[in-house]
Structure 1
Amino acid sequence: MSSIDEGPAHRHRLAILDDHSLIVDSLARWFVDRAADFDVVVTATSWMDLVRSPEFPVDIVLMDLQLPDGVSIESRIRACRAAGARVIVVTALDDDDSRERSMAAGAAGFVSKTLPAEVLVDYARRVMRGERLPRQASRLGARGVGEPGRGAPVATMSGVHLSPAEEKALRYYAQGLSTLEVGQRMDVGYETAKTYLRRVREKYAKVGRPASRKAELIRRAAEDGFLE
């Protein structure tokens, strides 16, 4: 019996998100030079740069905890997870509350920016193998996604008008819930929830902003401020 491991069978598509361009560039260079099993396909200094990239969604995102864009870390993690990307939060603020919030939202790891780059590469590989990185032994309380807002129809940045029900369905869906779970949260049937999301997609399509795929719909939600 023999074991063959002569190189990466699959190159993982990696995005790096940090508001300091020097950090982004240095991490990208390290992965390019020393981690042949990763392709750095997105380097972004803002959340909008990431979700608007034609390369999004990716396989894994190295994401800074604190970004000056007003979108919470929970919403950013859930949006990435809903699009199929795993997330490692890389931060200079290693406090228990931020760690628990990130892990509860679905991050695979919460690590310090002071780690050597080679350790971060190893962590990324472990995450892509399906491992959840170790964290502080503290018990998490039950947390759900934030309650979407209520009120009059919402006009998005390009004039798309969503009804309160359509907005609520979009917020839940973009935060990672399935269509069935959206219906359960809204106390409506599956077909009704599906109709709300279909109407949202149709309204975006009419103004030339594609939203047929899940990743596209998440991108529209991020662009129009529905991830808060």
Structure 2
Amino acid sequence: MSVVAQGALATALRDAIDADASLRLTAVVPWFTDLVTEAAFPGDVVVLAEEPGNALFAHAQTAVAAGALVVVHADVGPALQEVLGQAGVAIVPLEESAAAVVERISRLRPGRRHSHRLLGDGASRRPRLSRSEQRALAHYVQGSTTVQVAAEMGVGYETAKTFLRRVRAKYAAVDRAAGKRAQLMQRAEEDGIL
């Protein structure tokens, strides 16, 4: 897990994450550009405690595209909140504590904390896919190429590719292989997406 924050907020987030034994902090940096150069980038979770705006949105998109779950700890306006939500980014308002950020991370990572203790078959460990991720998965496993998925969803190629990358990452996070189309087909059938 990586954190982009400065000053007292960086310290508070570091302390809250360190207090949770199920989380492992790999980097705390003041600037996103510093994080990108870290060997551990993106890690499984990226916390962005930056000023709201275009740069924050771009950083969140980059981390999501790299396969990380992203939590923004900032006061974002409605427009930015909407586009971040569509990108699958969780938002924790700045008025909430660093402990609230850790709680959100714990909820976002359902299969990671106790994945070795889960019982039953793979279908009992379902990742939380966004509607867009479910749609992309459904089109893809029915034989569409990524280009066709993009056209059917009315999004760009890179966006469709990102949706499918996130689907694979979320299944991997709950220890359910989904690297190949056949595995994705099996997961979609098990989870009732088809």
Query: How high is the TM-score relative to the length of structure 2?
Result: 0.55
Q: Distance in 2 between matches of 1:35 and 1:143?
A: 41
Alignment size in residue pairs: 125
- 1:117 aligns with one of 78, 84, 98: 98
Displacement of 1:95 in angstroms is: 2.0
Q: Distance in 2 between matches of 1:43 and 1:143?
A: 37
The residue aligned with 1:90 is 73
The residue aligned with 2:13 is 27
Q: Distance in 1 between matches of 2:60 and 2:81?
A: 12
Q: Distance in 2 between matches of 1:71 and 1:50?
A: 18
Contact 1:78 1:106 in 2 (8 A): no
Q: Distance in 2 between matches of 1:60 and 1:83?
A: 11
Q: Report the AA paired with residue 78 of structure 2.
A: D
Q: Distance in 1 between matches of 2:54 and 2:97?
A: 28
**Structure 2 vs 1, CA of residues 42 and 123 (structure 1 numbering), >3 Å: closer, same or farther?**
same
Q: Distance in 2 between matches of 1:121 and 1:53?
A: 22
Displacement of 1:116 in angstroms is: 2.4
Displacement of 1:143 in angstroms is: 8.5
Displacement of 1:82 in angstroms is: 1.9
**Percent of aligned pairs sharing the same letter:** 20
Query: How high is the TM-score relative to the length of structure 1?
Result: 0.47
1:78 corresponds to 2:61: yes
Q: Distance in 2 between matches of 1:24 and 1:126?
A: 21
1:126 corresponds to 2:107: yes
Structure with bigger gyration radius: 1
Q: Distance in 1 between matches of 2:155 and 2:56?
A: 14
- Higher normalized strand content (fraction of residues): 1
What is the RMSD computed on CA atoms of the aligned residues? 3.0
**Structure 2 vs 1, CA of residues 126 and 77 (structure 1 numbering), >3 Å: closer, same or farther?**
same
Contact 1:89 1:110 in 2 (8 A): yes
The residue aligned with 2:4 is 17
Displacement of 1:71 in angstroms is: 5.8
SS in structure 1 at match of 2:26: strand
Contact 1:94 1:111 in 2 (8 A): no
Displacement of 1:87 in angstroms is: 0.4
**Structure 2 vs 1, CA of residues 21 and 84 (structure 1 numbering), >3 Å: closer, same or farther?**
same
1:17-67 CA distance string (max 9 Å, x none)? 12x2321122102211x2001111010111111111111121111112427
Residue segments in structure 2 that go unaligned for 5+ positions in a row? 111-126, 130-152, 165-194
The residue aligned with 1:155 is none
Structure 1 runs (4+) greater than 4 angstroms displaced: 142-145
SS in structure 2 at match of 1:35: coil
Displacement of 1:110 in angstroms is: 1.1
**Structure 2 vs 1, CA of residues 116 and 73 (structure 1 numbering), >3 Å: closer, same or farther?**
closer
Q: Distance in 1 between matches of 2:7 and 2:34?
A: 12
Contact 2:92 2:100 in 1 (8 A): no
Q: Distance in 2 between matches of 1:47 and 1:116?
A: 21
Q: Report the AA paired with residue 83 of structure 1.
A: A
